[in-house]
Structure 1
Amino acid sequence: MTRKPVRRNSKTSKSTPFYWSKPFIVIVIVFILSVFLYTKRDALAYYLSFKTDRVPLETRQASLSEVIKVHNEKAFGLDVSEYQERINWDLLSDLETGNPIEFIFIRATAGSNKTDSKFHKYWGKARETNMYQGAYHYYRPNENSIDQANNYIKTVKLKKGDFPPVLDIEKLPRHQSIDSLKVGLQRWLDKVEKHYGVKPIIYSSESYYNDFLKNDFEDYPFWIANYTAFYHDIDSDWSLWQITENGKIEGIRGCVDVNVYNGTTKDLKELLMK
């Protein structure tokens, strides 16, 4: 049987230009969204990681001097470690605003066997100043808690007028549950408290504090780090607030952490070793 020829449309269809293809449009949208999220990263960090019941003045746009101005009546201090390789202790006296540096924390130990390479030198130098001083331990969740407590105890000699011992907990465990981590933290705290006769201070980020520490360790003083919020009123449960890791201080090469005590110098003395 003879087939009727198929008539073809003489008008050829035009293909979609590459630059309007679906994959290209998706790439453009993703790029624009990425740029937007990057520009809002500080605000997102606050709302996703550091959100609390308190309303911040704003996300971190203000300079350190503006933060200090809001809390001008409070006591300010630093914390240092071997990462601050050079400190001229003779020049270490004031913040950029002229507020005196009234206290300093020095990292003493980390884990079960590390001593900060600058601790003994910096501890001795701090004794020669008018600053109140404290020593902190960086806790490694995957190492034995009692070994870590003993490492701190054999390294740090505290006396009247010093800050209580400080436990710095920032990391989550890899091979144990959160409940097991809390047991280890409590063992460290109990061992150290028994040795020094005073409750230690706990340092952590605000998100870590809210998620894992606030409800189980409420009897301890807290030192909280949050660089993405600028508070008019510091949480009453916080003894100290670490407000930046990018402080510029005469006498210290590079950046340094700056902290504010949640009270006046007179109030600060109530926290110190008796």
Structure 2
Amino acid sequence: MRVTVTAASALVVLCVLGTLVFTGVVWPNRWFVPRDSAVGVDVSAHQGTIDWEELTGSTVQGRGDAISFAVLKATEGSSHVDEQFAANWAGAQEQGLPVGAYHFMSFESPGESQAQNVIDTVPADPGTLVPTVDLEFYGDYFDDPPSAELVHGILDPLLEGLEEHYGAPPMLYLTREAYDLYVADLYPDNPIWFRSVTLPPRVSDGREWTIWQYSHRDRLDGYDGRERYIDLNVLRGGTEVLEELTLPE
């Protein structure tokens, strides 16, 4: 009887813990985030209309401080522009928040035209963060990743075009799988933004990350989109490092 009660109690505890993790109330990665890092958000149209004054005043769970930077989805492929980008760019800047933009790279269009989409959309304002290229799998590519030859044939001219226009090497946002397949031991001048939402990052070639996306299930005040959760990231070294990631005068 005692064994049955103990097993039932353990099951209840596991169910409660699982629910807390699923809803983002408890997130194990928070325990591993460096205390001297600066925390920031990345957002897209999925978060809907954002009240940037309210969002920047929110307290980040597990830290007790507010967000220090924001990266906004701007573009995807050769033609798509995020419908909330312009409003988010203006709103974040009005709050004095260091802001940058990211481009979701497509495996189905040339790097040159993708770079032009970014250039046509994202201002090259001095003091804003370097643009980011988001390199991750989507759709059928999860099961059938594209070859390194195909990816580099798109990524290389995309990075070259952005660096030429913005005057600084773009950042690369990567999952561990994409990093290992396409970036390990390459692109030494491009800062790395590493996604690892269950455990601290383990980078296969020993390279240090610049930004770590540690959570994709947090909640902050100030947005009303169909996506309930918001991504949280930390910048290694704190706000002092932000200057190293900003566009030159």
- Relative to the length of structure 2, the TM-score reads 0.78
Partner of 2:50: 87
Structure 2, unmatched stretches of 5+, are: 1-13, 15-23
The SS at the match of 2:68 is strand
1:244 to 195, 207, 215: 215
State the SS of the aligned residue for 1:167. Answer: strand
**Aligned counterparts, 1:9-28, within 5 A:** none
> Residues 251, 232 of structure 1: CA spacing in aligned structure 2 closer, same or farther, 3 A cutoff?
farther
Provide the C-alpha distance between the structure 2 equivalents of 1:62 and 1:120, rounded to a whole number of angstroms: 31
Deviations 1:45-89 (A, max 9, x none): xxxxxxxxxxxxxxxx99348716742221000000000013222
Identity %: 29
Letter of the aligned partner of 2:37 in structure 1? K
Aligned to 2:244, the other structure's residue is in SS state coil
Consecutive unaligned residues of structure 1, counting only runs of 5 or more, are 1-38, 40-60
- Residue 188 of structure 1 corresponds to 158
- Match for residue 140 of structure 1? 106
Post-superposition offset of 1:268: 2.4
Code of the aligned partner of 2:38: A
The equivalent residue for 2:136 is 170
Instruction: Report what 1:225 is aligned to.
Output: 195
**Higher helix share goes to which structure?**
2
The alignment status of 1:268 with 2:242, answered yes or no, reads: yes
Mapped to 2, the partners of 1:220 and 1:259 lie a distance apart of: 18
Amino acid at match of 1:201: M
Listed as ranges, the matches of 1:5-154 within 5 Å are 63-64=26-27, 67=30, 70-93=33-56, 94-96=59-61, 97-154=63-120
Distance 1:62 1:212, change over 3 A: farther
Runs (4 or more) in structure 1 with deviation over 4 Å come to 172-176
Within the alignment, does 1:216 sit opposite 2:186 as a pair?
A: yes
Measured at CA, do residues 222 and 176 of structure 1 come closer, stay the same or move farther in structure 2, by a change above 3 Å? closer
**How many residues of Structure 1 are paired with residues of Structure 2 in the alignment?**
214
Find the structure with the greater CA-based Rg: 1
RMSD: 2.6
3-state SS in 2 of match to 1:90: helix
In structure 2, relative to structure 1, the CA distance for the partners of 1:166 and 1:232 (3 Å cut) is: closer
TM-score (norm 1): 0.71
